[in-house]
Amino acid sequence: MLAERVQITEEKLLSDNWYILKRFTFNYLGRNGQWTTQQREAYDRGNGATILLYNPQTDRVILTRQFRLPTFVNGNRTDGPYSGMLIETCAGLLDNDDPETAIRRETEEETGYRIQSVQKVMEAYMSPGSVTEKLFFYIAHYTADTERNAGGGIDEEEIEIMELPFQQALAMMESGEIMDGKTIMLLQYLRLQQLTNASNS
Ligand SMILES: Nc1nc2c(ncn2[C@@H]2O[C@H](COP(=O)(O)OP(=O)(O)O[C@H]3O[C@H](CO)[C@@H](O)[C@H](O)[C@@H]3O)[C@@H](O)[C@H]2O)c(=O)[nH]1
Ligand SMILES: [Mg+2]
């Protein structure tokens, strides 16, 4: 068995105010065969799941819109001078659930839809230089008959639900109105699926 090329020698808790920020000290075996000691900070908020809801009868999608402070701090003024609003696929942290249970729960909490089968699409580290999180991606169908309640999120969350034509969502991605990574990945995935299906039929 190959020897580990990484030995973590110290974990220092820098903040556990909300999620967990730690500084790791570790020995790292470089490609040149030399060990060096390095430090990196990593922000651990657990893993998450996200979902694109698609209505194949109407060719529409469900997205959410909410205030995201980190984007505001980093210049997001897409909806007027003070906004910080971001359009996203429904998403949430796993908490202690498995990804599929978590995405069903989040879908109902945020969009109100009680979906049946979900299709797993991929898993991805979204910000691997500093955030530990792995995100699980799903697509599910909804129709006019899908059972639903109000949605909108829990606690202080003010989540707007947007239903819009898929083509419009694609146009908004190109115009920069949609600028969230997971959302762009799922919209592009669906687009590719449609193109593949069309060329096979
Ligand atoms: N008070 C307080 N609340 C916080 C803090 N950080 C996050 N929250 C709140 O904790 C809640 C977590 O809601 P979820 O729906 O579980 O997670 P999410 O923030 O939507 O995260 C999803 O999207 C992220 C961004 O794309 C993903 O990174 C993540 O994996 C997940 O899928 C949100 O209401 C968020 O505002 C904080 O420092 N203080
Ligand atoms: Mg959420």
Minimum-distance ligand 1 atom for the alpha carbon of 88: 26
Does any domain span residue 201? no
Are residues 190 and 127 part of one domain? yes
Is 123 annotated for ligand binding? no
User: Which ligand approaches the C-alpha of residue 86 most closely?
Assistant: 1
Does any domain span residue 142? yes
CA of 4 to the centre of ligand 1 (A): 34
Task: Convert the pLDDT of each residue in 41-51 to its tens digit.
Answer: 999 999 999 99
Interval 166-184 mean pLDDT: 96
Is 160 annotated for ligand binding? no
- Is the predicted pLDDT of residue 2 greater than 80, yes or no? no
> What is the three-class DSSP state of 91?
strand
Minimum-distance ligand 1 atom for the alpha carbon of 69: 36
User: Which ligand approaches the C-alpha of residue 51 most closely?
Assistant: 1
Interval 109-128 mean pLDDT: 95
Are residues 86 and 110 part of one domain? yes
Per DSSP, the chain holds a count of helices (H) and strands (E) of: 4, 10
Does any domain span residue 200? no
Cα dihedral value 137, 141, 143, 148, nearest 10: -40
Are residues 120 and 31 part of one domain? no
pLDDT of residue 1: 54
The domain in which residue 22 lies consists of: 6-44
What's the pLDDT band for 71 if we cut at 50, 70, 90?
very high
The structural domain count of the chain equals 2
Instruction: Tell me the pTM.
Output: 0.94
Largest distance between two CA atoms of the chain: 62
Does any domain span residue 113? yes
Whose Cα sits closest to atom 6 in ligand 1? Answer: 18
Does any domain span residue 1? no
Are residues 119 and 40 part of one domain? no
CA 123 to chain centre: 10
CA 201 to chain centre: 32
User: Which carries the bigger pLDDT value, residue 83 or residue 26?
Assistant: 26
Are residues 183 and 104 part of one domain? yes
By most ligand atoms within 8 Å of CB, the mutation choice from 16, 67, 93 for ligand 1 is: 93
